[in-house]
Structure 1
Amino acid sequence: MNTLVKSSSGIQQISVDSMLLSRRKIFIEGEINPESACEFVKALMVLNAEDTNKYIDCFINSPGGEMNSGLLIYDAIQSSRAPVRLFCIGRAYSMGAVLFACGRHGRYILPHGELMLHEPLLGNRIGGNSSSIQSISKSLLEMKRMMNRLLAGHIGRSEKEVEKMTGHEDHYFNAEECVKAGLADEIVDFAKLLEG
């Protein structure tokens, strides 16, 4: 999507994404995969190179996706020298919820935003011999423990409490429940998204 912008050299057509990036606003939208994770990291690098003191606002509307890609985004956000504020603008499910909940400089959710947490899932069908299936199962359980430990550290809950929040089935949290559970800091309106 493009927009028209007036400047001293006339009227130019600029992509909405470019305009928002120039205002230090980036997005995690759609499925989290290797391509979207790399695009996010590139944008974060550009904004860190410009200024490490100004906030970067990250807006999440995602059904989740691959754990490894999500952990790349997580590592980038956590080690960003510029502070990153996170906003749930719709849904933040699965890995999207983990990324949102792990914010360190503000986690804001719109009144009708929603988070969903669950245990790590296998992306592909299981195949192979019993040894390979056992190895996959062990790896998945290790990933589950690591994700629960990571979440627990960010939301001020014990790993046992996080296990209840993520175990066995999908757990949905509306905006008020997110704040109560420590998954979000504050419910905000659209005006907060426009702040510079």
Structure 2
Amino acid sequence: MTTTRLGNEALAQDDDDAQEQELVIPYRRYEGQVVIRQISYYLSGEIVPAIHYSEMLYTLRTATENDLIYLHLNTPGGDFDAGLQIINNMRLSKAKVVTVLEAKAYSMGALIFLAGDEIAVHDNCQLMFHNYSGSFIGKGNEQHAQVMAVGKWFEKVMHRICEPFLSGSEIAAILKGEDIWMDSDEIRKRLQRMLPPALKRERRKADVDAAEAPDKK
């Protein structure tokens, strides 16, 4: 800058030039739109064998980061194996999966509810957790082996899915045969102890990446 002015007048001109330079935006802004596909499933009855959920399982596994999948729950529970397959596909899905409790989610339904990336609870709802039930066939030693194996399996599932929503002592009580019931107010209170949705999605993404990685030999 050239000036013949002296003193404070020249300094004032320097200040004006500096302010003009600061107003120059040092970046360019671009904007785009992403189409989000929103899908809703209603689990409004007993959880039946997994073959009946093939379309939903396929959708979960083939969804993209731009998909939003809602699972609306009003179920007494049901088939444990089918419920686990639903949960595993939820966790491996690239979509954001939101579970919505709309009335009740008992037994396996409660575990599916807790497996969502984000969880929503309506008023006047219930959750119920209890031990598994089943029947075994075969010789006595075979039945005993099955009971031991399934018991250890179920205990791991409960800890992986239900903590910290349920405490370790509560899970231990369930494994001993106690039923745990809670209403919407209690559910919302406990959800405050859960992982933030963003952190849950980050951990789930790591699971997806690990599942899709080629086997290392």
Q: TM-score, normalised by structure 1?
A: 0.69
Task: Provide the secondary structure at the position in 1 that maps to 2:173.
Answer: helix
* Other-structure match for 2:23: none
Determine if contact 2:114/2:162 at 8 Å carries over to the other structure. no
Determine if contact 1:120/1:140 at 8 Å carries over to the other structure. no
Change (3 A) 1:39 1:31: farther
Cα deviation for residue 52 of structure 1 reads 2.1
Task: Provide the secondary structure at the position in 2 that maps to 1:68.
Answer: helix
Change (3 A) 1:143 1:29: farther
Determine if contact 2:90/2:115 at 8 Å carries over to the other structure. no
1:150 pairs with 2:165 = no
Deviation >4 Å, runs of 4+ = none
Partners in 1 of 2:128 and 2:167 — Cα distance?
A: 18
Deviation digits for residues 93-113 of structure 1 (CA, Å, limit 9, x no counterpart): 111100101222x11111111
1:128 pairs with 2:138 = yes
Cα deviation for residue 39 of structure 1 reads 3.3
Cα deviation for residue 42 of structure 1 reads 2.7
Determine if contact 1:178/1:184 at 8 Å carries over to the other structure. no
Deviation digits for residues 25-53 of structure 1 (CA, Å, limit 9, x no counterpart): 1222322221333232133346x1xx422
- Of residues 95, 116, 130 in structure 2, which corresponds to 1:82? 95
Determine if contact 1:118/1:171 at 8 Å carries over to the other structure. yes
Partners in 2 of 1:87 and 1:107 — Cα distance?
A: 6
1:171 pairs with 2:184 = no
Determine if contact 2:69/2:96 at 8 Å carries over to the other structure. yes
1:39 pairs with 2:55 = yes
Cα deviation for residue 84 of structure 1 reads 0.6
How many residues align structurally? 157
* Other-structure match for 1:26: 41
Structure with higher strand content: 1
Task: Provide the secondary structure at the position in 2 that maps to 1:24.
Answer: strand
Partners in 1 of 2:142 and 2:192 — Cα distance?
A: 35
1:182 pairs with 2:191 = yes
Contiguous gaps of at least 5 residues in structure 1: 1-21, 186-196
Q: Provide the alpha-carbon RMSD of the alignment.
A: 2.5
* Other-structure match for 2:112: 99
Partners in 1 of 2:115 and 2:141 — Cα distance?
A: 35
1:33-72 matched pairs, under 5 angstroms: 33-45=49-61, 48=63, 51-72=64-85
Q: TM-score, normalised by structure 2?
A: 0.63
Determine if contact 2:39/2:69 at 8 Å carries over to the other structure. yes
Contiguous gaps of at least 5 residues in structure 2: 1-36, 195-217
Task: Provide the secondary structure at the position in 1 that maps to 2:71.
Answer: strand
Task: Provide the secondary structure at the position in 2 that maps to 1:31.
Answer: coil
Deviation digits for residues 135-159 of structure 1 (CA, Å, limit 9, x no counterpart): 1210221122112221344x35543
Q: Which moved more, 1:162-171 or 1:28-37?
A: 162-171
- Of residues 107, 111, 128 in structure 2, which corresponds to 1:116? 128
Determine if contact 1:101/1:183 at 8 Å carries over to the other structure. no
